[in-house]
Amino acid sequence: MNAIRFRVRAVVRTFAVLTLLLLLARSSLHAQKTIVVTTAESLRVAVSSAKGGDTISVADGTYDLGSPLIIMNKGTPFKPIVIKSSTRLKTVFTGTSRMIVRSAEYLTIEGFVFTSTDGPAILLESANNVRITRNIFRLKETRQSSWVLITANSFDPARLSHHNRIDHNLFENKSLLGNFLTVEGSKRPVLQVSQYDRIDHNHFRNVGPRVENVLEAIRIGSSDFSLSDGYTVVESNLFEHCDGDPEVLSVKSSGNIIRYNTFLECLGVLALRHGNRNTVEGNFFLGNKRTGKFTDSTGKSWILGTGGVRLYGDSMLVFNNYFEGLTGSKWDAALAMTSGNADYGKGLSLTKHYRTRNAIIAFNTFVNNRGNIEIGYDGEGFQGNWWTLPPEDVTIANNIITGSEDTLFKIYSPPVRSRIKNNIVFPVGESVAASRRVTGVRVLDPKLTRAGNLWRL
């Protein structure tokens, strides 16, 4: 019996060794290779034949691709295809250069400078597991467009984009309509925004001058896609002087997470404009008392302020954020929970301002802002807006507010069936604790101390 067991084990070991040798032999047939290209045409040729594990290295220099470079290659999780500059940021795409990444998988675009005149500089159509990393986007715009757009392929709308990553890039100096980065999706067979994308460690700066709409730094979804879950994560980015739109980052889909970002002197807000179940966590909103001026299409002049978070819709979470030195109020307050003009679930137009329901606003810190927590603002008839439905079933708890301006906890219209508890306010100078008596708002010195550039317990 022992001899039989010994023979069986020997056969198993031999089979395992042969299997390993076969796998190694197969992998050697597709060995990774690096192709160096020096012209736009040789880049097209290299892309047309690239396989998983290949690296296409574009030599230093300036390239005008002319017509779009179509990339449809499929790598694998362990053998992605890489298209990169030979020396990071020494390869420049100019003129009408564009890349269309169509139904591609496991692909990396790395280290380029995009100064082309037409956007999108990179268009992802029904692509997945594509990484756009360590590039500079500084387009010389001649028409309105987004600079990076994630969407579906109109010729194959059932194939969705998903699991793409945009990271460690610099986006700067945008003045024409559109976004630095737009995430959309497919409208057939059902409305579905791109899913599981990650936008992290980017620097977005210098958007403007101000317009009334369509110049956000990032837009995730649209009113059409607002009821679809995107599961996009936007984290650890820096937004600086993004002033082009009232909404610096506009979330118009559901189930997304916005966390650990810094908004520095941006004349606008992070807006949860459409959709439900979005989370805003651990962000820093630093205004440094910056303001601006704007004249709208009716000729009315406005003083613009730096803002925080404005929210609409159902089941939003806003917690552990830090707001300091912001100059906005009303819809640009540090935490603006305005009234609305519709409720989800009633079949109304998705472009409406859906009132906030079932939100949790907790463990946030507000220091020296003009407007802090402001609830129930009705729009005052601006552009015909009179929002008559106050927030409903919201929880506002364990927040700290201190400052010397205006009213620290302001209620225009009381929220319905809501819970306000354990909030600490500490008015200094001529500021007022609350606009009305509110149970759950206590005047107390939180004894914040300066730690570096922030105030902490």
Distance between CA 139 and CA 95 in Å, rounded? 10
Distance between CA 311 and CA 409 in Å, rounded? 17
Is pLDDT at 1 greater than 50 in this prediction?
no
113 close to 87: Cβ distance less than 8 angstroms: no
Cis before 209? omega within 30: yes
Distance between CA 122 and CA 419 in Å, rounded? 46
Is pLDDT at 23 greater than 60 in this prediction?
no
Is pLDDT at 193 greater than 80 in this prediction?
yes
pLDDT of residue 10: 52
**pLDDT tens per residue across span 220-258:** 999 999 999 999 999 999 999 999 999 999 999 999 999
Q: Which residues pair with 123 in a beta bridge?
A: 100, 149
Distance between CA 164 and CA 191 in Å, rounded? 19
Residue of higher predicted confidence among 430 and 306: 306
Stretch 178-186: mean pLDDT, rounded? Answer: 97
Stretch 341-346: mean pLDDT, rounded? Answer: 92
Structure tokens at 229: 């879950």
Is pLDDT at 170 greater than 80 in this prediction?
yes
- What is the CATH topology of the domain spanning 86-456? Pectate Lyase C-like (2.160.20)
Identify the band that residue 323 occupies on the pLDDT scale cut at 50, 70 and 90.
Answer: very high
Task: Identify the three-state secondary structure at position 40.
Answer: helix
The single-letter code of the amino acid at 455 is W
Rg (CA), the chain: 26
Domain residue ranges of the chain, discontinuous segments joined by +: 1-31, 86-456
Is pLDDT at 138 greater than 60 in this prediction?
yes
pLDDT of residue 364: 99
